[in-house]
């Protein structure tokens, strides 16, 4: 018989020396199938409960943007003009799903749930590769894989985001897939298991090419994470290979695989702007939000910036133009905020290092920090989530101990430390949120499973002293990461998210209650004042609405459409001169949409006063901003044609 190492990327079938695992392997396969079937059942129940609940059609502003863009792309439309200001992976994915199955919400959710099941399977495969099969003193690979797969199933936030129209589930899958491929490369390089697909030997350069393509796809969905990996993995190849020429080849092939995926958006951005823009033109804004003077370890934009992606991009561009006194592209505005943040870091390096320390503490803390989707709402609407009982507060201390176990000699430790380190770095350059941390969670779960397997082996081998000592450390770490006071989660954004949904479905009373709660939780936020004012206005409470519009205007006079909305309500109350001053102020802003609306409102006031020439003049001003706009042209003809 030949000594053939039969482990493969898709279906590992033996120990690291090629020997079949026999009864133990069959039992492990049965347990894996149980985990996968349970994962399928949970996802089906969650899908049905979500579809039947009030939250089934709830979309955040970012999700709505992705859906509208994907709908346009699937029907043959083009991209918005200018450099990309969004990560293109998810709109492309949605457009593909819409083209195949239609433009509903069910299809992308079901596809994402299938991807979630594949993610669990990849976690299992990675666990088997991460540890040896029953070697003395080392955790058992089959046990590590099964424990990791079970923990992945029981972490509720993974399923939560599979039901959302956000890139999180795709990014998590690509993170786990790249980690699994990196483990394949690592073990082949160190003389362990060869890279195989269905028992056929695969050249390592081919695996590196696939790895690079996966990293490139990931960079289209989460640049701040995968761009670091695109740099780190080739460098790792250079140091990991004994033969320098082989390391250089694998590094170049990995980069080539990534470039294949990254080249289209780079070329598109260059054609739109005439300059190099890597993937998206808003990275500098995220960097500023997370590293500016006065920044917090969590997402907390300046008061003048809206929370949603497109709103933040628009507000930051207008603010940059105001501060510099010149017109800017979105890419130029992003670079402006990046440079401003860097200047702040240079001027106060001690304060920035303190901020980094706070981010690290929050990253490892058990608290979940929502920025768009808050699981507390979904647990009430989808009770199946309550049965997924593994919190990050348990994963975190277990994974820390797993990282310590890795340091004691496991061959794969360099690639594990690289992925954990890159996950931390991606947060340090931005901010901590559940959505940003989730792609790293399966890697941390693998470390946690490694520790669990080590404990089992230790108990069976009679190493009780070490196990008890590690247990004491585990308890200490659990209490350390469970300190709730480390950060106060402001859930006003979640209530805003809910209120906007109720407005869309005409549930105005529920919308008012949601916006009232958002304002109560964060009364200083201008968006909360405006949203509450809008809800009060819809409910006929005009005087209260005016009070909140006034509060919002005193907080931030430049907020989009605020002056128009405030003025229109004053006009309705008969306070026409005050309304006119607000419309004139809106016209003075360097925001085209506000200026066009102001022209329309000023034209209406002039016409009501019998001044038809002035009314026509304001419509001409609007047409200078949006030449050829059909409704304005028709209105101008009407004004000019009247006797």
Q: Is the pLDDT of residue 139 over 80?
A: no
Bridge partners, 432 (sequence order):
298
Least confident of 13-27, 75-89, 240-254, 442-456: 13-27
DSSP secondary structure letters along 178-208: HHHHHHHHHHHHTTSSPPEETTEE--HHHHH
Using the Cα atoms of residue 385, residue 387, residue 392 and residue 393 in order, give the sign of their dihedral. positive
The span from the CA of 316 to the CA of 305, in Å, is: 7
Reduced to 3 DSSP states, what percent helix, strand and coil does the chain have, rounded to the nearest 5?
A: 75, 0, 25
The tens digit of pLDDT for each residue in 242-291 reads 888 999 999 999 999 999 999 998 888 888 877 777 777 677 888 898 89
The tens digit of pLDDT for each residue in 564-608 reads 999 999 999 999 999 999 999 999 987 788 899 999 999 999 988
pLDDT grade for 2, boundaries at 50, 70 and 90: very low
Pick the most confident of 2-6, 73-77, 213-217, 635-639.
Answer: 213-217
The tens digit of pLDDT for each residue in 153-197 reads 999 999 999 999 999 999 999 999 999 999 999 988 877 677 777
Strands (E) across 238-370 are located at none
Helix (H, G, I), strand (E, B) or coil at 285: helix
Task: Determine the angle formed by the axes of helices 576-588 and 562-572, rounding to 10 degrees.
Answer: 170
pLDDT of residue 13: 40
The span from the CA of 185 to the CA of 189, in Å, is: 6
Question: Percent of the chain having pLDDT more than 70?
Answer: 93
Domains of the chain from N-terminus onward: 22-279+366-486 (no CATH), 561-641 (1.25.40.10)
The tens digit of pLDDT for each residue in 17-56 reads 444 445 566 788 899 999 999 999 999 999 999 999 878 8
9 Cβ contact partners less than 8 Å away, ≥ 6 residues apart: 125, 180, 181, 184, 195, 196, 197, 202, 207
Q: Is the pLDDT of residue 12 over 50?
A: no
């Amino acid at each position: 018989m030949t000594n053939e190492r039969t482990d493969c990327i898709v279906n590992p079938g033996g120990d690291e020396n090629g020997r079949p695992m026999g009864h133990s392997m069959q039992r492990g396969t049965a347990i894996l199938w149980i985990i996968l079937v349970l994962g399928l059942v949970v996802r089906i129940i969650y899908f049905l409960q979500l579809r039947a609940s009030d939250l089934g059609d709830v979309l955040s502003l970012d999700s709505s943007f992705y859906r509208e863009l994907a709908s346009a792309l699937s029907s043959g439309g083009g991209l918005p003009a200018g450099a990309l200001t969004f990560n293109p992976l998810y709109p492309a994915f949605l457009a593909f799903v819409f083209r195949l199955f239609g433009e509903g919400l069910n299809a992308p959710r079901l596809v994402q749930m299938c991807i979630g099941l594949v993610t669990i399977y990849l976690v299992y495969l990675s666990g088997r590769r991460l540890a040896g099969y029953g070697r003395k003193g080392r955790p058992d690979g089959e046990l590590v894989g099964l424990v990791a797969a079970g923990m992945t199933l029981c972490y509720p936030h993974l399923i939560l985001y599979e039901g959302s129209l956000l890139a999180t589930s795709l990014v998590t899958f690509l993170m786990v897939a790249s980690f699994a491929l990196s483990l394949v490369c690592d073990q082949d390089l160190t003389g362990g298991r060869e890279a195989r697909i269905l028992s056929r030997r695969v050249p390592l350069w081919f695996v590196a090419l696939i790895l690079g393509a996966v990293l490139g796809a990931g960079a289209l969905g989460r640049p701040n994470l995968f761009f670091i990996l695109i740099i780190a993995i080739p460098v790792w190849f250079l140091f990991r290979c004994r033969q320098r020429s082989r390391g250089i080849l694998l590094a170049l092939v990995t980069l080539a695989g990534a470039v294949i995926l990254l080249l289209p958006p780079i070329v598109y951005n260059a054609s739109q702007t005439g300059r190099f823009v890597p993937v998206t033109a808003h990275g500098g804004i995220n960097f500023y939000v997370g590293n500016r003077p006065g920044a917090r370890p969590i997402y907390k934009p300046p008061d003048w910036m809206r929370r949603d992606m497109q709103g933040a991009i628009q507000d930051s561009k207008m603010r940059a133009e105001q501060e510099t006194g010149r017109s800017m592209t979105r890419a130029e505005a992003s670079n402006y905020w990046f440079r401003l943040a860097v200047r702040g870091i240079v001027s106060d390096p001690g304060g920035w290092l303190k901020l980094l320390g706070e981010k690290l503490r929050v990253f490892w803390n058990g608290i979940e920090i929502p920025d768009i989707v808050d699981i507390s709402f979904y647990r009430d609407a989808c009770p199946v989530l309550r049965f997924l009982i593994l919190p990050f507060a348990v994963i975190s201390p277990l994974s820390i101990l797993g990282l310590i176990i890795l340091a004691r000699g496991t061959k794969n430790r360099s690639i594990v430390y690289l992925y954990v380190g890159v996950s931390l770095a991606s947060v340090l350059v931005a901010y901590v949120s559940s959505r940003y941390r989730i792609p790293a969670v399966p890697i941390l779960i693998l470390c946690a499973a490694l520790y669990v397997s080590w404990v089992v082996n230790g108990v069976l081998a009679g190493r009780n002293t070490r196990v008890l000592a590690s247990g004491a450390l585990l308890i200490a770490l659990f209490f350390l990461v469970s300190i709730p006071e480390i950060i106060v989660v402001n859930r006003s954004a979640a209530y805003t998210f809910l209120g906007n949904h109720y407005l869309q479905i005409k549930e105005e009373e529920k919308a008012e209650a949601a916006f009232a709660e958002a304002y109560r939780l964060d009364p200083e936020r201008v968006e909360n004042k405006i949203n509450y004012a809008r809800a009060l206005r819809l409910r006929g409470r005009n005087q209260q609405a005016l009070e909140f519009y006034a509060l919002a205007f005193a907080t931030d006079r430049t907020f989009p459409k605020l002056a128009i909305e405030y003025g229109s309500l004053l006009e309705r109350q008969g306070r026409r001169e005050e309304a006119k001053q607000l419309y004139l102020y809106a016209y003075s802003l360097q925001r085209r949409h506000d200026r066009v609306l102001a022209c329309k409102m000023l034209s209406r006031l002039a016409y009501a006063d019998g001044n038809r020439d002035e009314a026509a003049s304001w419509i001409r001003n609007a047409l200078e901003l949006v030449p050829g706009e059909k409704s304005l042209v028709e209105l101008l003809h009407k004004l000019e044609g009247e006797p």
